[in-house]
Amino acid sequence: MAYELRELASPDDWEAMHRIRLQVLFTAERHPGLVYDRAHPHDIEPAHSKFVLMLDGAPIGTTRLDPRDEGGIVRLVAIVPHLQRQGHGSVLEALLIDYARARGMKRLWLNAARDAVGFYEKLGWSAEVWDEQELLTFARDCVQMTKPI
């Protein structure tokens, strides 16, 4: 199996990111009534790095890394449904850490969905409130976590 964590570069990469997010993160069950914004300002922000995880040339996952202080905030992590719980999320995390370290980052933060907390704990993440303002808005149902890298 050949993995690649690819920064979005082509219209196909962008489409893959949106498709995966809509399949996994922005479903009617998870976010009733929400209209997904394909041109959200955080996604088009040049400082934010957007990725697709490729497996043997096919997009299977996505995430975004937003720089913050000496590290970065990991956002919108998703693996396509039929490949979840097979180790691909751990690979995505490892490749993202390599990317972050290569850019001098020393710590990562994320807002974990409650059903994903155990996954992140197994990878060495710890629950820690790092931005109370986010917990008042879009991350209100999440657990904030951090990991030194």
Q: What is the pLDDT of residues 62-110, one digit of tens each?
A: 999 999 999 999 999 999 999 999 999 999 999 999 999 999 999 999 9
pTM of the predicted structure, to 2 decimals = 0.94
Domain ranges of the chain: 3-148
- 3-class secondary-structure state, position 100: helix
The domain covering 3-148 belongs, at the CATH homologous superfamily level, to Gcn5-related N-acetyltransferase (GNAT) (3.40.630.30)
Per-residue model confidence as pLDDT tens digits over 47-67: 999 999 999 999 999 999 999
Q: Is the pLDDT of residue 1 over 90?
A: no
CB 80 within 8 A of CB 71: no
User: How many angstroms from the chain centroid is the CA of residue 112?
Assistant: 10
- Please report which helix (H) or strand (E) contains residue 13, including its range: helix 11-24
Which band of pLDDT confidence, cut at 50, 70 and 90, is reported for residue 30? confident
